[in-house]
């Protein structure tokens, strides 16, 4: 192998972009989506009462978040962690986060 080829190959392997196999999920996530991962694991690892949101239908996530935001519609009461978290997001933020989770398969 020619001496110049080795550094060129190393450069291409380390080059970010189309030659990189590193996931870019975190960079693509809308603001606020990372706050969900504290309880909702990216993938189910064991039986858990808190489901993964990855691949869930956006409409279902939006409906659940709106229900948590509404103290009258929240059947679990307004004091749950999800109720407090949901009230911190605007409807457009909730919709963006839900669409992102739906696209994550």
Is the residue at 12 inside a domain?
A: no
The answer to whether the beta carbons of residues 38 and 59 sit under 8 Å apart is no
Is the residue at 94 inside a domain?
A: yes
In this prediction, residue 28 carries a pLDDT of 79
Predicted TM-score (pTM) above 0.75: no
Is the residue at 25 inside a domain?
A: no
CA distance 93 to 55: 18
Instruction: Express each pLDDT in 13-66 by its tens digit.
Output: 444 444 333 344 555 789 889 888 888 887 766 667 788 899 999 999 999 999
Is the residue at 6 inside a domain?
A: no
> Could you tell me the residue range of the domain that residue 92 belongs to?
32-103
What DSSP designation does 37 have? G
Is the residue at 38 inside a domain?
A: yes
CA distance 69 to 67: 5
- CATH number of the domain within which 50 lies: 1.10.760.10
In this prediction, residue 14 carries a pLDDT of 42
Quickly tell me which residue has 């909702």 as its tokens: 40
Mean pLDDT of 60-74: 87
Cα 14–chain centre separation:
26
Is the residue at 11 inside a domain?
A: no
Q: What's the total number of domains in the chain?
A: 1
């Amino acid at each position: 192998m020619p001496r110049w080829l080795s550094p060129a190959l190393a450069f291409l392997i380390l080059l970010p972009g189309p030659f990189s196999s590193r996931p870019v999920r975190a960079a693509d996530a809308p603001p606020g989506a990372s706050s969900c991962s504290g309880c909702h694991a990216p993938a189910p690892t064991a039986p858990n009462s808190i489901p993964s949101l990855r691949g869930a239908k956006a409409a279902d996530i939006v409906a659940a978040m709106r229900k948590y935001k509404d103290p009258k519609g929240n059947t679990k009461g307004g004091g749950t962690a999800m109720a407090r978290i949901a009230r911190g997001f605007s409807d457009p933020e909730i919709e963006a986060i839900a669409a992102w989770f739906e696209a994550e398969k």
